[in-house]
Structure 1
Amino acid sequence: MGRRRLLPLFFFLLIATSSAVPLLYNSLDVRPLSRPSTLDSALPWSETLEATESTTDSAASSSPSLVFRLEHRDSLALNSSAAELFSLRLDRDSARVYSIDSRLAQQTHGRPISHGPSGAVPRPRRNVTRHLPSRRPRSFSSSIVSGLSQGSGEYFTRVGVGTPSHSMYMVVDTGSDVMWIQCSPCLRCYTQSDPLFNPRASSSFVNLPCSSPICRQLDTSGCSRRRSCLYQVSYGDGSSTVGDFSTETLTFGRTSIGRVALGCGHDNEGLFVGAAGLLGLGHGDLSFPSQVGRIFGRRFSYCLSDRQAGSTPSSTLIFGDAALPAPGRGAVFAPMVANPKLGTFYYVQLVGISVGGARVNVAASEFQISANGNGGVIVDSGTSVTRLVQPAYIAMRDAFRAGTTQLNRTTAGFSLFDTCYDLSGKDVVKVPTVVFHFGRGSDLSLPASNYLIPVNTAGLFCFAFAGTSSGLTIIGNIQQQGIRVVFDPVASRVGFVPHACG
């Protein structure tokens, strides 16, 4: 009788084993960490083009489009090794994520979060306008915390400011709305590559009055004694910019756009990049895409090339209908989700993740925005490493580890990475596939180089994800590289187009 009872169990195990679905794998070319290409100043920074039906999926489009060249901040670092640059990048990344989490916590709970190595919250400097007695705002009651912390905007472009136009480096950042530049006279300014902008030398510079509707859109605003609008933006590490909120003409190649609202900062502190200011690409009304929406339709896209692969193709940022992919390019569109508590970030509907072709056991609710505005999933240009809510990260990491038993996993991690492999001496390895599943049945398969990355010159590679306890999932730029990311608020969607940097 005992043997008869064992037979059904034996056959069940045999059938289950034989019907197991084999894992799906990608090939990874093993290239140790190397320095990114240095800045090529001979290339044009921007150009204007006309969108046509052959370049976009919008019908009979004839609106103009702007194309920007983007460079990573590491291209300006001439005397640092690849390892030093990567270490600094991870430090900036942690500060960036902390700032985003702090801003979200302040908006949803009215207070900053408390986490980090020491458990203490960096306190913004008080009285940032103490050197501006005649400009002291009447309504600066609290600082806001934005995505730019320790200069963590990773990409920059060159923009003409004023009339006559003066070209300046500006950080581009999807996690910020308010645009600003450093201006003279400057009471406190950090070092920048270009001369300070002098608003008195520009015929198109106009101070906005306190009564203007656009002044009231600022999160933190005030009034000077002359009743002109003042702005203040404070960042998570205590960095800040304070000055006049104004309108000015911006020039891109042959295209000039007048009456763009931006801050003219006379008191600027902190560890910014060395750029003259910030070009905000956020979802809010004061961002550059929103302000020029009447011209370019609020649509834009960028493609961040793999810096390990050299400078070709270059990273680009496109505004207008040409930002949309042409038919047949294999675009994957994720539904855009609104967070009523925080309008700056671009939220998308992520419903699941697969590793090696098998769905990771994580509930879709882990990626949803809660009633108080916490949680959700954002796509961010300034965050490097994708952060996943802790249950999703652990499940995904464990699935990846289970599919890489043939590789030499190290006992220790590296910085914020806890899953690393010694691939020295290898040319090509097989790693499980990683797929993001978005709403409406859209699936984005990541290239292997976007999730197993080199972290030193000795052949150490790490799984480029990290967990977070904040509740917010952030899709970072390492996972975006080589993929054109399309922001289309008009159709309420964010698109991903593989192999579209050229």
Structure 2
Amino acid sequence: MTGVASHAVLLAGVVLLAAQLCGCTAYVGRGDGFSVELIHRDHSVKSPFHDPSLTPHDRMLAAARRSTGRAAALARSYAATAGTGSPGGGVAEVISIPPFDFLMYINIGLPPTRMLAFADTGSDLLWVKCSSDGTADHPEAARRAPPRVVFNPSKSSTFGRVDCHSGTCHAFTGTGVSCDAKSNCKYVYSYSDGSETSGVLSTETLTFDDAPGGCVGCRDRPQLQVARFNLGCSTSTKGSFTGDGLVGLGDGNFSLANQLGAATSIGRRFSYCLVPSFVNTPSILNLGARAAVTEPGAATTPLLHSDVDAYLTIALESVRIGVRSLPLPRRARIVVDSGTTLTLLVKELLDPMVEELTRSIKLRRVKSPDKGIPICYDVSRVGETAFGKIVPEVKLGLRGGGVVTLKAENTFVMLREGTMCMALVEVTKGDQGMVLGSVAQQNMHIGFDLDRRTATFASVDCATSYPWPADSSL
């Protein structure tokens, strides 16, 4: 009983802190929450980064290469901070590696400015690119293609700045905060690949339009509107940021779910369902009651308190391929991250997985299109469907007893016509760097309940789970 009471007190404290940080009020069009379309940066024709001259395999290869770069950046980060016990040398507590894979629309201010921001389950701050002086365009907006939207605070009637002496400013967990001459809370967020965003911590009205496929039977698309939402008004970025901003979906106090939970009755929960890259249907992000994962066979596991507050981290209790149980690292934790395409594993776990998978696949090995993804097979004679029947399932045993099954579509990707490559790569420093990437998560409904501190996984067909209109497309 004492443990239950302590847990309840802890949750109440977290919710109270989030409420104090947000200071939000909200209008919710429907009581069951809302849904937002997730746009893949490479595959979707709705993305400004979509290159129609590339084949689907070229686009997948580009996404996979971002993952190998992410693994290298994580290795450099952990090497640089080894033995410090904390992110040293000015490296942010949030160590997601941009660029990210999925985008979502958000409406900032009144009247609203519609912006296309990256969605990131590995960080907690929502920030958008702002005019540096309230009138001039962001310096990078004029230099880099494709053209982007820059938010102008002077044109919004609801824009406010966070005072540097406030509790909200002191609660910020990025690289650091400081005061400017007008007592505004200035922030810096650094990332492990050297990318950085900085600006003024602000408050603004956010408006979300319900996705076309999210509300069954609705005559009008409802909206959710939140006033005094804490966000970063970024006046300077460097490195890999190419969108209008970033929506932090992680586990920190400034995340979208935590602030919406404090401002509304929908709770601190969200879920998403990622369609395979070759399917011409959007992916979806759900918040509120729609985030409940109730499909048959759903596996629930506790969310762990991570070394990085924003990370959505779970524990592996076992990994099985066929009848063989594979050895686990000493602290088998893995971050669930939609922003990384491939799955990153430490050598201790990756090597036996590769050995068991390759032992079962009796096809000719071929040279990979990318040296960072070394294991590839010629499937031109058998086809992708037959190949999927050859590859054994990988069973991930989670703390709490649940099991997540990775099929061939979760462990292999086609990087060239007739060439299937293993979507598992090595992260070379520390088991805390293991990441379950978006390929491993596709065709799963994955939900996070930050009040109950749980993550839930269910195998579904994401393309048919939501009734998108006939004209919806990637």
State if a TM-score over 0.5 links the two structures. yes
Question: 2:71 is matched with which residue?
Answer: 97
Give the Cα separation in 2 of the matches to 1:84 and 1:433. Answer: 26
Residue number among 313, 320, 336 corresponding to 1:379 in the alignment: 336
Residue 167, structure 1, aligned to residue 133, structure 2 = no
Question: 2:54 is matched with which residue?
Answer: 81
Residue 211, structure 1, aligned to residue 171, structure 2 = no
Deviation at residue 385 of structure 1 after TM alignment:
0.7
Residue 152, structure 1, aligned to residue 99, structure 2 = yes
Report Cα offsets for 1:114-172 as digits up to 9, x if no partner: xxxxxxxxxx9xxxxxxxxxxxxxxxx934264444x4211001111000111110111
Question: 2:356 is matched with which residue?
Answer: 399
Contiguous gaps of at least 5 residues in structure 1: 1-46, 51-62, 114-123, 125-140, 368-375
Question: 1:315 is matched with which residue?
Answer: 283
What are the equivalent positions in structure 2 for 1:232-247 lying under 5 Å apart? 232-247=188-203
Deviation at residue 467 of structure 1 after TM alignment:
1.9
Kept in 1, the 8 Å contact 2:121–2:338? The answer is yes
Question: 2:9 is matched with which residue?
Answer: none
Residue 467, structure 1, aligned to residue 426, structure 2 = yes
Deviation at residue 456 of structure 1 after TM alignment:
0.6
User: Matched residue of 1:96: which SS?
Assistant: helix
Residue 351, structure 1, aligned to residue 317, structure 2 = yes
Structure 1 421/207 Cα, relative in aligned 2: closer, same or farther at 3 Å?
A: same
Kept in 1, the 8 Å contact 2:369–2:415? The answer is no
Question: 1:252 is matched with which residue?
Answer: 208
Q: Which has the larger radius of gyration?
A: 1
Give the Cα separation in 2 of the matches to 1:269 and 1:111. Answer: 27
What are the equivalent positions in structure 2 for 1:13-32 lying under 5 Å apart? none
Question: 1:329 is matched with which residue?
Answer: 296
Deviation at residue 102 of structure 1 after TM alignment:
5.2
Deviation at residue 93 of structure 1 after TM alignment:
1.5
Deviation at residue 103 of structure 1 after TM alignment:
5.3
Question: 2:410 is matched with which residue?
Answer: 450
Give the Cα separation in 1 of the matches to 2:299 and 2:119. Answer: 24
Report Cα offsets for 1:460-495 as digits up to 9, x if no partner: 111211122212221111000111111112222211
Report Cα offsets for 1:313-366 as digits up to 9, x if no partner: x2000111220123x532111222112x32110110111211124322x04635
Residue number among 11, 24, 32 corresponding to 1:64 in the alignment: 32
Give the Cα separation in 1 of the matches to 2:409 and 2:398. Answer: 21
Residue number among 181, 188, 202 corresponding to 2:156 in the alignment: 202
User: Matched residue of 2:70: which SS?
Assistant: helix
Kept in 2, the 8 Å contact 1:352–1:438? The answer is yes
Question: 1:365 is matched with which residue?
Answer: 330
User: Matched residue of 1:470: which SS?
Assistant: coil
Kept in 2, the 8 Å contact 1:210–1:227? The answer is yes
Give the Cα separation in 1 of the matches to 2:308 and 2:79. Answer: 10
Kept in 1, the 8 Å contact 2:129–2:138? The answer is no
Structure 2 letter corresponding to 1:331? A
Give the Cα separation in 2 of the matches to 1:323 and 1:439. Answer: 21
Residue number among 248, 256, 260 corresponding to 1:288 in the alignment: 256
Structure 1 366/267 Cα, relative in aligned 2: closer, same or farther at 3 Å?
A: closer
Structure 1 259/198 Cα, relative in aligned 2: closer, same or farther at 3 Å?
A: same
Deviation at residue 189 of structure 1 after TM alignment:
2.4
Question: 1:16 is matched with which residue?
Answer: none
Residue 426, structure 1, aligned to residue 386, structure 2 = no
User: Matched residue of 2:33: which SS?
Assistant: strand
Give the Cα separation in 1 of the matches to 2:80 and 2:302. Answer: 26
Residue 300, structure 1, aligned to residue 256, structure 2 = no
Residue 269, structure 1, aligned to residue 225, structure 2 = no
Contiguous gaps of at least 5 residues in structure 2: 1-26, 210-222, 466-474
Structure 1 154/48 Cα, relative in aligned 2: closer, same or farther at 3 Å?
A: farther
Residue number among 221, 225, 230 corresponding to 2:177 in the alignment: 221
Structure 2 letter corresponding to 1:480? Q
Structure 2 letter corresponding to 1:365? R
Kept in 2, the 8 Å contact 1:331–1:495? The answer is yes
Give the Cα separation in 2 of the matches to 1:378 and 1:289. Answer: 18
Structure 1 87/204 Cα, relative in aligned 2: closer, same or farther at 3 Å?
A: same
Structure 2 letter corresponding to 1:188? P
User: Matched residue of 1:495: which SS?
Assistant: strand
Q: Cα RMSD between the aligned structures? A: 2.5
Give the Cα separation in 1 of the matches to 2:227 and 2:377. Answer: 52
Residue 438, structure 1, aligned to residue 398, structure 2 = yes
User: Matched residue of 2:372: which SS?
Assistant: coil
Deviation at residue 108 of structure 1 after TM alignment:
6.6
Report Cα offsets for 1:40-94 as digits up to 9, x if no partner: xxxxxxx9774xxxxxxxxxxxx43120000100123134413442332223223
Structure 1 184/412 Cα, relative in aligned 2: closer, same or farther at 3 Å?
A: closer
Give the Cα separation in 1 of the matches to 2:40 and 2:53. Answer: 14
Aligned residues: 401
Structure 2 letter corresponding to 1:332? A
Question: 2:123 is matched with which residue?
Answer: 176
Kept in 2, the 8 Å contact 1:103–1:146? The answer is no
Kept in 2, the 8 Å contact 1:356–1:403? The answer is no
Range 463-472 or range 81-90, more displaced: 81-90
Percent identity between the two aligned chains? 28
Report Cα offsets for 1:389-428 as digits up to 9, x if no partner: 1111001110111111x22223668432232111112231
Report Cα offsets for 1:431-484 as digits up to 9, x if no partner: 212111111221111222111221112x01112111222122211110001111
Kept in 2, the 8 Å contact 1:69–1:315? The answer is yes
